[in-house]
Amino acid sequence: MDQQTFITALANEWSTNRRWDGVTRPYKPDDVYRLRGSIDIAYSLARYGAARLWQLFLDDDYVAVLSAVTGNQAIQQVQAGLKAIYVSGWQVAADANNALEMYPDQSLYPSDSVPTLLRRINNALKRADEIAHLRGDHSTYWFAPLVADAEAGFGGPLHAFEIMKNMIDAGAAGVHFEDQLASVKKCGHLGGKVLVPTSEFITKLVAARLASDVCGVDTILIARTDANSATLLTSDSDEYDRRFVTGERTAEGFFRVRDGVDAAIARALAYAPYADLLWFETSKPDLAEATRFAEAIRGKYPRKMLAYNCSPSFNWRKHLTEAQIAAFQKELGALGYKFQFVTLSAFHALNHSMFTLAREYRDRGMAAYAELQNREFASEQDGYAATRHQEFVGVGYFDEITQIATGGTSSVTAMEGSTEEEQFHAPKRKRANARR
C-alpha cells in the first residue's frame, strides 16, 4: 500500500470506527507509516484475539477470567468454558521467568519473560485446536484472547513501545501498564509503591498505543493506577499531581502524597482518553469503593470500560458474606467493570492441588493417586480430556503426520499398541464398571 493510501485509510479508520470513540492519539497516521517498515507483518493471533476480546466486552455483561502459568492450564480453562485468559507478571516472577528464578513481584525478571509465556500458552492452544480440527471437532474456539501484564513498562516510553511490540508478536490480545516507577515497582498489594507523574505515565500509554498502531493490531490497552494505596511520587513537576502532594520528602527524595480513591479517580480520569479500559488497584473487595470509582469515571466518560482485580491477596470471607461473594462480579459488571480477573489463580491452584496430592500420596501411596485418577474419569462427562494424556498432547496428530509422510505404510506410529489405547480407550461402559 502506498503512503498516501495508507495514511488516508488509517485516518478514516480512527475517525469513523466506533472502536476508537473516546480514544486520543497525539500523533498522526503519517507517523505510524514512517515507523511501520516496508512490508506488512501479520500478527494473526494478536489481531484475532484483540477483535474477539473487544466483541466479548460489547456482547457480555462482563468477562470473568482466571490466570494461567502453563499451556496446559490454559487448555483446561478453555475446555471448561472460560472465554479469555490472564497472563500475570506476578506469576511469571514467581515461577515462569526467563531467569529461571523464583522472585517476588518487583520487576526482577527479564522483560521478555511474559512474552515467552504468551508464546507457550498460544502454542498449547494451537496444538489443542489442531488436534480437535483433525477429528472434525469444531465445538470449541481454542484461541482464547490473552491479556498480558507489562507491569510499569520496565523503563520509560521506549521500553513501553518495545514491550508492547513484543507482547503483540507473542499473540497478546490485551496489555496493561501501571503508573508506578519501574525501577522500584511493587505488587499492588505490597507497600513502598512509588508513582510517576501523571503526564509521564500518559506518555507511556501513548507509546504503547503507537506500538500497536505500528503493528497494525487493535490491542486492548488497559491503564492501571496504584494511587489508591501508593504514598510516594517521584516528582512534583506535574501541576496535575500537586493537589495530592503533602510537602514531605523521603530520604530518597521522593515526594509524599495522599493516597485513596480520590487520587485513583483523578489519575484514571487523566488516563481515560489514552486507554481502552481503566483499572484501579484495591486493597480489599469493596463494592462501595468500586461504585464510587465507576460513577466518577463514567460520569465524564460514559462509555469507558473498567477492569477489576478479584485478587487472591484479599481474604474474601473476611470482608464479604457468602451471598455477597456470589453476587460480587455481577454487581461489578453492572457498574461497567467488563474485565474481571483472578490474577494469581494459577499459582494457587497449582500449588494447593500438588500439595494435597503429595500429602495424601505420602500417607497412602498409590491409593491416593488412583483416587485422583477416578476424579479425572468423573470429570470426563464435563469435557475433561487429560486422563488420556498421550492423546491430549497430540500423539494421534503426529501419527497422522507420519502416515501421510510415508503414504500410510509406517509401522512405527505411537498410539497403536500403547497402554493408553488398551486401558483408556475402552468403551465407557467398561470404564464405568471399573470405577465401581
Helices 287-300 and 322-334, interaxial angle, to 10°? 0
Helix segments in 239-388, DSSP class H: 261-271, 287-300, 316-319, 322-334, 345-364, 366-379
232-233/255-257 β-pairing: antiparallel
Q: Which of 414, 388, 390 is nearest to 402 (CA)?
A: 414
> Torsion angle of alpha carbons 257, 261, 263, 269, nearest 10°?
170
Which of 200-238 are b and which e, b meaning 16 or more Cβ less than 10 Å from the residue's Cβ?
bbbbbbbbbbbbbbbbbbbbbbbbbbbbbbbbbbbeeeb
CA distance 153 to 131: 36
Residues 6+ apart with CB under 8 A from 286: 319
Other Cβ atoms closer than 10 A to 349:
18
CA distance 426 to 194: 60
**CA 249 → CA 28, 219, 289, distances in Å?**
40, 38, 29
DSSP state of 365: T
Residues 6+ apart with CB under 8 A from 327: none
SS3 59: helix
Active site residue 310: no
**CA 93 → CA 100, 106, 131, distances in Å?**
9, 8, 31
CA distance 65 to 13: 30
Question: Which of the residues 187, 214, 277, 294 is marked catalytic?
Answer: 187
CA distance 374 to 250: 59
Burial class (CB in 10 A: 0-12, 13-18, 19+), 386: middle
Catalytic residue list: 187
